[in-house]
Amino acid sequence: MNITKIITKYTNSSQSNNNNATLEQNNAAQVIQKHTRIYLKKKGILSNNLLSKYKTLCIARPKELFKYMPRATTGATKVFLPKDFPKVIFKQSGKASGEIRLRIMQKVRDILTRQKSSCLIIPKAIRFGDFLVEDRLPINTDSFHNMALYISHTKLFDDAVREMTKLFSENYLTDLITYCSRQHLGHILGVGNSVRYDNLPLFIVESHGIKKGAIGLIDLEHLSERQDNTTLKTLVRIFPYHLNIIKQEADSLKMIYDNKELEEVATQGRKYLQLGYTDFLNWLQIKGISNNPKNWKFEINRNREKEFRDLIELELIKLNQGINDLYKRDSNYHAGSQISKYYLKEDIVHSARELSYKITPAILNDIVNVINESLISKIEKYSRKIVSIPDEATIVALRSLSIMRAKFFWSAGEILDETDLINHEKCSGFIEKNRIAEQLFHIIFEKLVDYREIFYYDPGYNSRSITFQSNWIRF
Ligand SMILES: Nc1ncnc2c1ncn2[C@@H]1O[C@H](COP(=O)(O)OP(=O)(O)OP(=O)(O)O)[C@@H](O)[C@H]1O
Ligand SMILES: [Mg+2]
């Protein structure tokens, strides 16, 4: 059923018409409407001629429609992006939380009006039942998209960052930086956290031919009135190239900060943008990666197979002595881990060599197949959004894959489980064999990075739960 039919079905048919209205009545109505529009604009209340349709949908909540409606991929709240109403989003926040959100939005809007801010955009909104209907901002919450925007249009964001500093001198947002261990971008050495662009998306607006950087304040739920020493650090972490502007603004607002701390955070912020985005983009350009994802295929230079075999042979001999570096790398494995020893059958070197002949090609094949499978499925997902040639940020996003680690050494684990080159009583259990296989895969992968066949590999060991551990592979 199409959306118009659904709305008609749910709309009360007994709406009055105003055929009998006199000319004066119409004029009076126009004046009232004009004033109402001005009032609503000031109050940030969404108002347009589709309002009654939104209301019908939000109150009736037809399952058949919401079930198939496109949704935002970020954030905990369900946010619907109806195709038929491209100017708004439906945020299913619930009644109470919706009211709180509206109140905070109004509070911040009042501050911004007083501060004469023009680059920080709070969408106009209205609540119908469980839903907030909000202006849809022209944003993309993908991290790489926002990093690219900031790196390549830094100056355009001068005013927006000044305004953010001013806003933060009164109220600041506490959920813009995260230490969530599942965020691979947060694992960059020496940085250790990532930016929640899904709560602070950047975009560029153009008016009368002049461009300026804007920031969408779409999630104000975590607003704090208290100043603490993270207030300015948060801003510097997100906008490190604006360190001086933030400090100037903070000085004029008499905000207190520790200069050294801010410098350190700015270094982290710059590193995040450099390693998380710029270095990888440069690497892709040097490699001559085409901008047509349909031509992409991950391959490994097979001339190195003998070298990899030798590495695996040596590592197997080391593992046989009960030395598995995996246990050093991953704190999850420490507690109560029983490490097997001396399981290779005599002659040990011969067994290790024979095993390396089987395991090395299996791991290399798994790596190539798993990466290509994951790449194809990511490209397919994106291809719905990519209209023509993907931009640089999209290429960076497409070639940064998060893949469940176990997939890479599945075959190696099976070979270890079935081989008669090891004494299974001394190396019991599939888990232990998997850990051996994981270490073997790891040393090959590190070499692929050394040989620049892969740009970066984060084993994701910081993640608390082993089940969720996945490799971050950028190639
Ligand atoms: N006005 C808007 N215009 C466009 N997209 C929006 C808008 N509001 C929300 N979104 C999209 O929906 C996502 C979730 O919205 P929001 O951040 O408000 O939800 P949330 O549940 O409060 O998030 P969190 O998990 O941070 O608490 C955003 O990251 C963004 O992608
Ligand atoms: Mg959010």
DSSP 375: H
132 φ/ψ angles, rounded to the nearest 5 degrees? -100, 130
pLDDT value at position 14?
Answer: 38
Find, among 61, 97, 93, 66, the residue nearest to 81 by Cα.
66
CA 220 / ligand 1 centre spacing (Å): 10
**By CB neighbour count within 10 A (0-12 exposed, 13-18 middle, 19+ buried), where does 83 fall?**
exposed
Ligand nearest to the CA of 139: 1
The Cα–Cα gap between 177 and 198 comes to 11
Please tell me if the CB atom of residue 273 comes closer than 6 angstroms to any atom of ligand 1.
no
Please give the Cα distance from 272 to 260 (Å, whole number): 19
Question: Where do we find the tokens 């940085």?
Answer: 191
Amino acid at 406: A
Strand partners, 135: 88
pLDDT at 338: 73
Max CA pair span of the chain = 105
How far, in Å, CA of 470 to CA of 148, rounded?
Answer: 25
Helices 158-168 and 231-238 cross at an angle (nearest 10°) of 160
- The CA-CA-CA angle for residues 242, 245, 249, to 5°, reads 140
* pLDDT < 70 stretches in the chain: 1-25, 29, 37, 39, 331-337, 385-387, 461-468
State pLDDT tens for residues 326-356.
888 776 666 556 788 999 998 999 999 999 9
199 lines ligand 1 (CB under 6 A): yes
Angle separating helix axes 410-418 and 348-383, nearest 10 degrees = 150
In ligand 1, the atom with minimum distance to the C-alpha of 73 is 31
What is the predicted pLDDT for the residue at 136? 97
Ligand nearest to the CA of 143: 1
199 C-alpha to ligand 2 centroid (Å): 5
Distance 104 CA to ligand 1 centre (A): 15
Closest-CA residue, ligand 1 atom 24, reads 75
Which of 274, 277, 279, 284 is closest to 190 using CA atoms? 274
Question: CA–CA separation, 246 vs 262, rounded Å?
Answer: 10
344 with 352: CB under 8 angstroms? yes
* Ligand 1 mutation target, pool 73, 77, 180, 195, most atoms within 8 A of CB: 77
Provide the 3-class DSSP secondary structure of residue 332.
Answer: helix
Q: What is the value of pTM for the model shown?
A: 0.88
Taking only the tens place, the pLDDT of each residue in 398-448 is 999 989 888 999 999 999 999 999 999 998 788 889 889 999 999 999 999
Q: Is the CB of 44 under 6 A from ligand 1?
A: no
User: DSSP character for 136?
Assistant: P
Atom of ligand 1 nearest to the CA of 135: 1
Report how far apart, in Å, the C-alpha atoms of 171 and of each of 104, 112, 165 are.
11, 11, 10
How many CA atoms are closer than 13 Å to the CA of 244, on its beta-carbon side? 3
Ligand 1 atom with the shortest distance to the CA of 134: 1
217 close to 122: Cβ distance less than 8 angstroms: yes
User: In b/e form, how buried is each residue of 442-473, taking b as 16+ CB within 10 angstroms?
Assistant: bbbbeebeeeebbbbbbbbbbbeeeeebbbbb
Domain boundaries, the chain: 3-11+25-135, 143-284, 290-474
The protein residues having their C-beta less than 5 angstroms from ligand 2 (an ion) are 75, 199, 219
* DSSP assignment letter at 222: S
Cβ count within 10 A of residue 128: 19
Q: Which atom of ligand 1 is nearest to the CA of 222?
A: 27
Task: For residue 184, give the amino acid letter.
Answer: H
**Which ligand 1 atom is the nearest neighbour of the CA of 196?**
26
Query: Any idea which residue has 């960052």 for tokens?
Result: 161
Give the Cα separation of 137 and 81 in Å (integer).
Answer: 11
CA of 243 to the centre of ligand 1 (A): 27
User: What distance lies between CA 88 and its chain's CA centroid?
Assistant: 22
d(CA 166, CA 108): 12
Q: Helices marked H in 227-347 — which ranges?
A: 231-238, 243-252, 259-273, 279-287, 305-320, 326-329
- Ligand 1 in contact with 250 (CB < 6 A)? no
| pLDDT for the residue 333 | 66
Ligand 1 close to Cβ of residue 75 (< 6 A): yes
- Of the bound ligands, which one is closest to the alpha carbon of residue 75? 1
Q: Pick from 54, 79, 89, 217 the residue to mutate for probing ligand 1's pocket: most ligand atoms within 8 Å of its CB.
A: 79
Do the Cβ atoms of 50 and 85 come closer than 8 Å?
Answer: yes
Q: Is the CB of 218 under 6 A from ligand 1?
A: yes
Which mutation among 196, 198, 222 tests ligand 1's pocket best, with the greatest number of atoms within 8 A of CB? 198
Ligand 1 midpoint to CA 93 (Å): 10
Distance of alpha carbon 203 from alpha carbon 198, whole angstroms: 12
Q: What does 339-362 look like in DSSP terms, one character per residue?
A: ---S-BPSSHHHHHHHHHHHHHHH
Q: Cα separation of 244 and 215, whole Å?
A: 19
